[in-house]
Amino acid sequence: MSETSRPEALAMVVGGGPAPGINGVIASATIEARNHHIPVIGFMDGFKWLVKQDFDWDDPKILGEHYRWLQIGDVSDLHLRGGSILRTSRTNPTKKPEHMEQVLKVFRHFNVKKLVTIGGDDTAFSGSQVYEKAGGAIQVAHVPKTIDNDLPLPESTPTFGFETARHVGVHVVRNLSEDARTTSRWYLIVSMGRAAGFLALGIGKAAAATLTIIPEEFPELPPEERPAKEKNKQLRRLSLTQLCDMIIASILKRRRQNRAYGVVVLAEGLLEAIGETKLLEVEGVAQGRYGKLLRDEHDHLRLGEIEFGRLIKDQLTHHMEKLGIDAPSFIDKDLGYELRCADPIPFDAEYTRDLGYGAIEFLRSPKAEEYGAIISFEAGVLKPLPFQKMIDPETKRMRPRKVNVKGEAYKCARRYMIRLNRGELDNPAELAELARLANMNPDDFRRRFEYVTDTQREQGPDVIVGS
């Protein structure tokens, strides 16, 4: 069948990692499009098959395997299901011009005139390039998705999937907290969150973790101080030793409170904040003891390939033994894959229905002829955000939204953590007791740990977190 004999169709593509609510977007967008008599074609596995040049898209054998025509009956009960009926992949169609041309060729073959992409900032850039390279012949709406909550949506609007991921993560951490109390252990929980600490902080704060550490609390390194091969990376004044000393200080404070257990939540983005150069200086990293430092098609460190929790556990044990401090039993736990395909909670089920509906509303509006856009809502009102205003042409990404570490919400989170604060170092009795627990004299303790003190809380009584 030729392009001209096909009705104009709407395509859907899901890219990046899974997030709770993808099926909700697919469902609502399909229902709205079909209610307006627009055929909907869903391509499987993101752009993975769209870039292939040896595909016969007229072969009936690949229907259902690599694409499917969606009807209302196919999606009517999907909005409360996790996962993605279209699956997903991280294939980047913008890396090679011939790949993007092949994508456009397939879209022309099916007479695709409208496209809904569902994904993070990398998928948003891919969608923006479809709009640009097609010369406006294909109208594009991108629905932003990530459990990291790091996309710059207006008025602190969350990305879909975040609230469900936090909800499930809190239950996991509360269970581990009870295990820590029962067995006198310390859990080191590494939470997903590449560019920002929203998920780690949201889980740690709601679950009353002993300590939560996120990248944003450390100052960024200026470009001139970054290693040559990492000039364009957002590195911070941070090292593994510093992370370990912060945790050790919390362990000592807990012992001061006669509590031999605790839970630490670490954002995985701390790895990128430290940077590849510094990581390779740590014993065992270059040799692959903790996995390989690999990068994906979008030049991200593949954080899932690095055993960050085990690295921190080994470093903590090493530093505590070197200081002559008895190390507790540490258990490391990655927290992320369990969250990404969870059934969405009502917040995300409702929110994704809005987003899918909003994508079709935008694509049917005159504005879609003027620009491609990222779909967002503000105070219940659809607010399409033009690609050209949201995506940096140099980095080819949206500028990540960061946790505001100067805001009261973050200050509240810090207030309920167990961290060494400067007031304790200035209190001779407290300093002496902490130094005794560390088998150090007070002056040596101050010299070792002063740089990790909680400067946001210099005075005031401590709280005992999590009982």
3-state secondary structure 236-289: ECCCHHHHHHHHHHHHHHHHHCCCCCEEEEEECHHHHHHCHHHHHCCCCCCCCE
Tell me which of 122, 148, 245, 314 is the catalytic residue: 148
Distance CA 105, CA 57 (A): 11
Distance CA 286, CA 14 (A): 35
Q: Under a CB-based contact definition with an 8 Å cutoff, are residues 172 and 346 in contact?
A: no
Three-state DSSP at 168 gives: helix
Strands 67-70 and 40-43: antiparallel
**pLDDT at residue 84, rounded to an integer:** 98
Q: Could you give all domains of the chain from N- to C-terminal order, each with its CATH number?
A: 9-160+344-398 (3.40.50.450), 163-340 (3.40.50.460), 420-457 (no CATH)
**pLDDT at residue 297, rounded to an integer:** 65
**pLDDT at residue 288, rounded to an integer:** 85
**pLDDT at residue 467, rounded to an integer:** 38
Distance CA 105, CA 203 (A): 44
pLDDT truncated to tens, each residue of the chain (467 aa)?
A: 455 578 999 999 999 999 999 999 999 999 999 999 999 999 999 999 999 988 899 999 999 999 999 999 999 999 999 999 999 999 999 999 999 999 999 999 999 999 999 999 999 999 999 999 999 999 999 999 999 999 999 878 999 999 999 999 999 999 999 999 999 999 999 999 988 999 999 999 999 999 999 999 999 999 999 988 888 788 899 999 999 999 999 999 999 999 999 999 999 999 989 988 888 888 888 788 888 777 666 666 666 688 999 999 999 999 999 999 999 999 999 998 999 999 999 999 999 999 999 999 999 999 999 999 999 999 999 999 999 999 988 888 888 899 999 999 999 999 999 999 999 999 999 999 999 999 999 999 999 999 999 765 443 334 333 33
Token pair listed for 376:
């967002």
Indicate the helix (H) or strand (E) that contains 315.
helix 308-323
Sign of CA pseudo-dihedral 387, 389, 395, 398: negative
**pLDDT at residue 460, rounded to an integer:** 37
- Answer yes or no: 148 catalytic: yes
**pLDDT at residue 316, rounded to an integer:** 97
Three-state DSSP at 91 gives: coil
Token pair listed for 276:
């590849």
Please count the residues of the chain: 467
Sign of CA pseudo-dihedral 79, 84, 90, 94: negative
Distance CA 125, CA 415 (A): 39
Token pair listed for 233:
């990376």
Strands 40-43 and 9-14: parallel
